[in-house]
Every structure is written in C-alpha cells, then in structure tokens.
Amino acid sequence: MAKKRKQTEEVVKRDLLKEVGEGIKKYFTDFGTAVNKGDWGTRASLIVMGAGFIARKQFAKGILITLVQIMYFIVFAVYSVPYLTKFGTLGTVQMEQTFDPVTMQQTTNNYDNSFLILIHSMISLFLLVVFVMYYIHNMKAAYKVEKDAWAGRHVNNILEDIADMVGKKFYISLLTLPTIGIVLMNILPILVLVAIAFTNYDQNHMPPASLFTWVGFDNFKALISSGGMTITFGYAFRKVLGWTLVWAVLATFTNFIGGIVLAVLINSKGVKLKKMWRSLFVIAIAVPQFVTLILVRNFFRDDGIVNTLCANAGITDFFKSIGLLGANMNFIPFLTSKGWAKVMIVLINIWVGIPYQMLIATGVLMNAPQDQLESARIDGASHTQIFWKITVPYILVVQGPALITDFVRNINNFNVIYLLTQDVYTTTDQMLANSNAKEVDLLVTWLFRLTNEYYNYKMASVIGIIVFIICVLFTLVSYSKLMAGGREEDYQI
Amino acid sequence: MKKRAIALAMSAIMMTATMAACTSQETPPAAGAPTEAAPENNTGAEPTEAEVVEVAKADDSAVGNLIAATTDTVKLVVWASEEDQELTQDLINKFEAQYPEVKFDIQLGACSESTAKDNVLSDPTAAADVFAFADDQINDLVNAGALQEVAAAYTYDVSKENVAGSVAAATVNGKVYAYPMTADNGYFLYYNKSVFSEDDIKSLDKMVEVAGAADTQIGFELANAWYLFGFFSAQGTDLYARLAADGVTNECNWNEGVGVDIANAILGYVDTGVFVKAADDASAVSNMKDGKYAAIVNGTWSAAAISEALGDDYGAAKLPTFTAGDKEYQMSSFAGYKLIGVNPHSAYVGWSMLLAEYLTNEESQVARFEARGLGPANIKAASSETVKADPAIAAIAAQAEYATPQRIGGNFWDPAKSLGEILGNGNPDGTDVQTLLDNAVEGINAPVSAN
C-alpha cells in the first residue's frame, strides 16, 4: 500500500514538471507558428500590433490595440529610458547644495537619486515584461482570429467583447482591481527589496544626499563568512536561529493542542452556557493584540502588579524556598531572566493565541465524521481513545495546512516577542550583547534592531531573503510529507 | 483566455499612469522606529577642549533681500516634541507677526527630539523644514545630508550668545549645523532631604550608609549604558568611551587601568542591597515618589514629577563621589543639549533658518524655561535669577563641570548595557571581572560592517 502510494506520488511529480516544461515550450512555439504560418495581416502585427485584427475587419479592436502599443512606446521613451540607462550604475551625480548667505537661497545641482532610479527601473522592467508578454499573446490572438475567419467561425466584434466582460467573462473584470493591487502592493515592492540585497544601501549611502550602487553577492558573503555583520555574528546567529525554531514549534503546538482541548471541553455534553464560555474567550481577540501585550508586559515587570501580588501572597517566598529563585531575589524575574522570560512568552502567547484556535477547532469538530465516532462508541472505545485515535488524527489532517502556515507565521512572530521583551529584557550573555542580540530574540526581531537602528537596509534585505528561503523550504517539505499519498482521503466521506 | 490576458495587459498599462504619479513619494523600505540607547533624551558635548566655531554675522540687507524675493506663500513644516506644541505654536505666531509683508503657512507637527533622527532619515526630502533633535544624533544627521549648515546668522549671534558647550555640540568637523535650544539634557542626583543632609550627598559611601540606616534604597539605572558611563568615565580615571576618528566606531578602554576597580566598586555597592539597579526611568521615578528610593540619578525631565511628590524634601545636586580601589572619584555624566536643525531639502531654506533662529533666540529660550522648565542654552537667559533658582537646573549646571560630551557610536549601547545588567545583578555567574570588561570593550569597539 505504502509503496504504491509513493509510486503515484512520483508519477504526479514527474507529470507536473513535464507539464510546466511543455507549457513553456508551447508558449513559444505557438508564437513561432503564428509568425511562420500567419498571412500578411497577422505578420504585420509584428510591427503594428492591431494590424491582424484590422485585416479581419475588427477595426475598433485593432485601433485600440495599436493605441496601447503607441502609448507604451511613448511611456518607454519618456519614462523608462532615462531611468534604465542609469540602472547599471544607479546614478553617478552626487547631490551638491550651495547656500548663498546674501540672498539666502539654496541651489541644488541636478543630482541622481539611486533609490528612485532603482524603483523606476524596476517598474520599467516590469512594464517591459508585461508588454512583451502581451505582444506575444497578441500575435497568437491575431493568428487565431485569422484561422477563425478562414474557417468561417464567428469572430467577436468589440461590442460583443465588451458585453462578454460584464457577462460570461465578468470574473476578468472583477479580478482586474485585485491584480493591480497585488502588483502594486506586493510584487513590485518585493522586487525592489530583493534588488536592495545586491546594493550597498546603508547609513553611509543614503539617498538623496549620497548614492548607492550594485555590489553583487558581497552582502551574502559578509553574512556567511566569519564575522558577518558583528564580531560574534556566527554565535548569535546560531543561538537566535535555535530559539526561533524552538519557539515556533512550542508556540504552534501549544496553541493548537490548547485550542482543541478548549473546544472539546466547551463542546462536551455536560457543559452549560456554551455560548457564554465561547464569547468570553473571543473577547480576548477583540482587544488589539499589541495593547494586550504591552499591558501584560507591564503587569509582569519586576516591580509590576503581578510581582506585588506574588510578594504579598507569599508566592515569591515559596519560590525561594523551593529553589526557583535566588536567595537575594525579592521579586520574580518574569520577563527579565532567560528561563522565566522564555516560559512566560510561550504562556502569554498561549493566552492570546488559543481563542483563535478554539474557534477553528470548534468548526472542525462540528464536522467530525459522526459515523466513525458512533461506531467507535458502539465498539466500546473510551473517551480518551476516541479523542486520540479519531478526533486528533481527523483534526490534524484537516488542519495540517493551517498548522504549517501557523508555524511559518510564528517564525516571523514579531509582535509577541518584540512587545513583550523590548525595553524590559537585558541579556547577560556578552557574546549576544556584542551582536545586539538577546536570548529571547527571533530572527526577525534581531534583524529589526540590527537594521533599523543603523539603517542597514542592504543587510535587512539579505536576512529577509534568507528567512524567506527557510520558510519556503520548511513549507515545501512539510506539505509534501503531510499530504503524502493524499492521506486526507482517508477521512473523506 | 485571450480576453483575460488583454485585460491584464490593459490593467498593467493603466497602472503605469498611476505609478508615474505617485512614485515621487516612495519611501525607503524599513522606516524608522525608536532607537535603543539612553532614555527619552540623549546627551551631547561639553566643550572641554573642543574649539568653538564662530558663525559669521550676515549683512543686514540679507533679510530685506529675502523678503523682497519672496512672492509666494512660504510653506514650512516644523517638528517639535509633543510637550512643546503649545509653546512652539505661540512662538511661530510671533514669528509670523514679525514679517507682515510675507504670507506664511507654517504647520506644526509632533516628533520627539529623541526620535527625530529616525523620522528625518527615513526620508529627508519629506521631513520637516525645521525640527528639534537631541545633539547625540547630529553626526548621523550631518552624514546623511539632513542638516543645513548654519553658514550665517541673521537675527542674533548664534555662536556667541549660547554657552560654548552647546555650540560645540552643534558643531561637526568645524562647521555649525544647528541652533542650540536647551542645555539641560544630562543627568544628576535627586535626593530626599528628609533622609540625606547636604553633606551626605557628597559621597556615595556616606549615602549608602545613611540610606541603609533609614531603611531606604538608592536607585541607579545600571543596566543603561547612558548612566553606567558616569561610573567608568569618572574624573581622574583615564578611562574613556568615545567615538573614534572615523565617526562610526568607538574607542573604549574600560578594561584597562582602574576599570576593574570600578567594576568591583559597583559590585560592592550592589552587594549592600542599598544601592540597587533601577529597571528604567519610569520605575526609578515612581519608586522615588513612593519613598522606596531616597535618591535616584535622573534628568530634568523628571524634575516636575519628583518635586511635586516630595514637596519640601525635594533636593537635586551634582552626582556624588565614590570609592574604587582605595581612591575616591567624582562620578561623571553625559552632558546633553537639544538643538534645532534646518532641513537642506526645504524649499525655503532662508525662511527656515530665520524661523530656527527665532525659535532659539534669548526671548524664546526664556519663554521655554517659563513654560516648561527647560534649562536655556542662551547665556543671558541661563544667568537670570529665576533660572538659577531652579534646583534641577542648578544641579545640572554644577554637574556640567564633570560632564563629558556624548559622542559615541551605536555599538556602545548593547554591550555596555549587558555589562551594567551583570554588575547590577551582582555578577551571579561569578565571571572574572576582567573578562566581563574585556568582553564588553570588545563589543563596544567592534568594527561596523563595511562595504
């Protein structure tokens, strides 16, 4: 059974690769076919993009497409060219300002702004790629129209096309806005950020006053080679990466299991006022997380309210007597000593995170396979057995992808760590301190301090790329393991 | 399929227009956020030997020329701290009234002096035309080309009317880059007069003895590099922590000479249980108010809160001496100033300079003291009787003699803070003190990532 599963899996993988390869090949051969086999009208589209449609008497469409082409050429010449010509150097003219004390006027030379050059070049390149793709597509479309006309099939006129856009192809109209949004908000900024990893954009090279330029893989080398960004970088990197992974595992699974247990408890038959209990927990979600976290941080300070309560209630003394606290400590270092802080962070994270998981688990539990639960009960399985043998595997399969997402999110869980420890936790590990790190830092919080205080944008991009790679690798591996052989089918009804 | 691709291409092309319109406002990816380091105010340079640069007095006709040349509305943005809003708005109104022939549109925004650098450097071209900042940020601001050189003075003599230390703090590489606004951004001793006499507070040994007998404590933010500096760079120790010649890395020798003695002295004081590590400014001040601490080391920003809580028992003085090895040292401190800078990217640099001058002239500095109790940098304003009578400002003036300029690179803060935390906890792991200092100094002096 297992072997067969593995085989199918491999077949699926090979098919996928093959499909992608063939898709790419087809994309270009179709274009070649259109150029080779098309008639004069279609071929004229190589120069005037609307020609193919005009030859088929689709004048409006042909003119519109030609207009788009002309517009792009103008944009390219007026907007793209000035930036793209400087893209190789990211600018050469440094800003110079002179102030005339007599007229009190400032004159500034016509300087290059590396950052603007980078951004606008990226946009220009992006537009170029979009245009080339559109150009290729247009060629194929012209050829298709040619064939349609030749075979006597109906060819849409522009009005019919427009009608389609609000009719049966309405989804395209609907998706236009989100697509623009994704391009503007996600793709372009990410491209710019990736590009910055290959420049020397930092505090000593800050536009507009100074220029930055390309440095190839130097930043990556600096990160990997001994020393890195700080003198104890390798040591700090290992420590921080270790705690990041431990934290991600702990945070993900404590919340996951806690949420399920809570959901099962509230769902179980004896519990009264189910809705009230659920609402009580959901209220915790309603308060913005950063408010909660900062409040909690203040509660647990060395001289905070919790410590006062503990001292008054004798808990501090009790901890002292069982050796959890040093003899000269008159407070519990909830967020100020290494061990306590790590435990507290995980506990506080459980408290702020469980309600979400409880809601999800409640939903999942309501759809649990009743027939299996029923038959298990008839067969005389105990509650614990049912929980571990049926409920948990079922939830694991249904929520597997969500778990992986949670894990990745926790690797980058800036809020909880930063808000709970910033300005409170001071490391006593001097090796870490020399790299501006703390025992409780995640890669992101460490990155934030390293780069934000020194405007080290280039290294921020490099570490960002590396964190991204770690997350991608983890996600790919765990998805393929979790989804191996389509285990979810075992639980489909 | 075809139509969808067309739609995509169309939307991409439409996007061009949008992009072209908005790109000029693009900001760098990681925007600024509060930096580590000292409490809300960092500090600056006392002119121990720094030579004071003179700012040339400009021709009187210059302002007339500027007024004549200004035909459109002068649009300026001013950033001042949250607490300074009301006062600054008053001053701006008075400034506008001085030039009735010019139309002004001056907007006031809130930005703390301690974080001005972060906000300005995230995009200097979009930052305010005139902004207040703490003088420890001046190096970075000048390096990033975000400060206009004070090439000439128009309404008052910037370099002569302000105390020499404040002008030195506004000077980088022999050029003045900012207008001194206050001279009180350092720290000193607050004490409770019902516990200590004026003689007690001269020496930390005596203070510990007296406070111990009175069953109170002395709070000191050891795990804060800004305050810890006061111990190690005490008078006569030959120890220093300062910016190296490259303007980025540090030179620190706390691990040499009497450094070990001083670290051991701190451990000794901590060991008494009377001299304790205060968690941060807020907790130091609140413990002072509650009477848990009989003395703390803090700055003028806490003066109002403490004097209100202690009433007649409120006392402020220079920092005490302490004993290390078998010698007595006077505790040092960082001295600090708040400055006003002009953004060279301003469209109205001339007017911005005039406004900055106005916001820092004698009259404005007196107004600032009266409204907010901030110690003036202006010599005449600082020598008035009311200013001198203020205990906190008198204390900072007394401490000034032992204060050191705060010219230190970013690598200072975390290693020194960690050292202070270990010492403040009484060195729980029993690490060799020399090793502790060596580690800290290695981090403080570490090279800053190059290329």
Contact B7 A173 (CB under 8 A): yes
A200 in reach of chain B (CB within 8 A): yes
Least confident of B6-10, B71-75, B364-368: B6-10
Compute CA distances B386 → A347, B368, B398, whole Å: 54, 13, 16
Q: Which residue of A has its CA nearest to B346?
A: A106
Residues of B within 8 A of A424 (CB-CB) are 279
Residues 66-85 of A with CB under 8 A from B: 68, 71-72, 75, 79
Q: In the predicted model, what is the mean pLDDT of residues B95-102?
A: 93
Residues shown for chain A: 493
CB atoms within 10 A of CB B401: 12
Q: In the predicted model, what is the mean pLDDT of residues B347-375?
A: 92
B10 in reach of chain A (CB within 8 A): yes
Strands ordered across the beta sheet of B74-80 = B104-110, B74-80, B130-134, B338-342, B179-182
pLDDT of the residue at A13: 60
Checking DSSP bridges between strand B333-335 and strand B403-405, what pairing results, if any? parallel
The pLDDT confidence band at residue B192, using thresholds 50, 70 and 90, is: very high
Instruction: Chain A: give the shortest CA distance to residue B426, in Å.
Output: 10
The pLDDT confidence band at residue A483, using thresholds 50, 70 and 90, is: low
Instruction: Chain A: give the shortest CA distance to residue B428, in Å.
Output: 9
Structure tokens at A199: 């420049």
Residues 393-412 of B with CB under 8 A from A: 410
Burial of B436 (0-12, 13-18, 19+ CB in 10 A): buried
- Cα separation, B351 vs B199, in Å, equals 52
pLDDT of the residue at B279: 85
pLDDT of the residue at B435: 94
Q: For the residues of B242-281, what is the DSSP string, one character each?
A: EE-TTSSSEEE-TTSTTHHHHHHHHHHHHHTSSEEE---H
Residues 229-258 of B with CB under 8 A from A: 248
Least confident of A220-229, B96-105, B364-373: A220-229
pLDDT of the residue at A207: 86
Contact A231 B447 (CB under 8 A): yes
Residues 20-79 of B with CB under 8 A from A: 20, 23-24, 26, 28-30, 32-33, 35-36, 56, 58-59, 61-63, 65-66, 69
| Cβ contacts from A onto B, under 8 A | 226
Specify whether the CB–CB gap between B67 and B102 falls below 8 A: yes
A189 in reach of chain B (CB within 8 A): yes
Q: Which residue of B has its CA nearest to A460?
A: B30
* CB within 8 Å of A34: residues ≥ 6 apart: A42, A139, A140, A142, A143
* Digit-coded pLDDT (tens) for A169-203: 888 888 889 999 998 899 999 999 999 999 998 87
pLDDT of the residue at B345: 92
- Cα separation, A44 vs A381, in Å, equals 76
The pLDDT confidence band at residue B7, using thresholds 50, 70 and 90, is: very low
The pLDDT confidence band at residue A65, using thresholds 50, 70 and 90, is: very high
* Digit-coded pLDDT (tens) for B236-269: 888 999 888 877 789 999 999 999 999 999 999 9
**How confident is the prediction for chain B on average, in pLDDT?**
85
Contact B66 A302 (CB under 8 A): no
pLDDT of the residue at B268: 95
Instruction: Chain B: give the shortest CA distance to residue A177, in Å.
Output: 8
A459 in reach of chain B (CB within 8 A): yes
Neighbouring C-alpha atoms within 13 Å toward the C-beta of B326: 0
Structure tokens at A78: 């007026």
Which of A129-143, A214-228, A461-475 is the most confident on average? A129-143
**A228 secondary structure, DSSP code:** T
The pLDDT confidence band at residue A7, using thresholds 50, 70 and 90, is: low
Contact B440 A103 (CB under 8 A): no
Instruction: Chain B: give the shortest CA distance to residue A313, in Å.
Output: 20
The pLDDT confidence band at residue A8, using thresholds 50, 70 and 90, is: low
- Cα separation, B221 vs B226, in Å, equals 9
Compute CA distances B378 → B133, B152, B357, B363, B365, whole Å: 17, 18, 12, 9, 7
Q: Which of B4, B6, B287 to mutate to test the interface with A (most CBs of A within 10 A)?
A: B6
Q: Where are the alpha helices (DSSP H) in A268-325?
A: 274-286, 289-299, 305-313, 315-321
The pLDDT confidence band at residue A63, using thresholds 50, 70 and 90, is: very high
For residue B376, whether the previous peptide bond is cis, meaning omega lies within 30 degrees of 0, is: no
Closest CA to B52 of B167, B133, B157: B167
pLDDT of the residue at A6: 54
pLDDT of the residue at B341: 96
Here the ipTM equals: 0.73
Q: Which residues of A121-158 are buried (b: 16+ CB within 10 A; e: fewer)?
A: bbbbbbbeebbeebbbbbbbbbbbbbeebeeeeebbee
Residue B291 has pLDDT above 50, yes or no: yes
* Digit-coded pLDDT (tens) for B156-174: 989 899 988 899 889 988 8
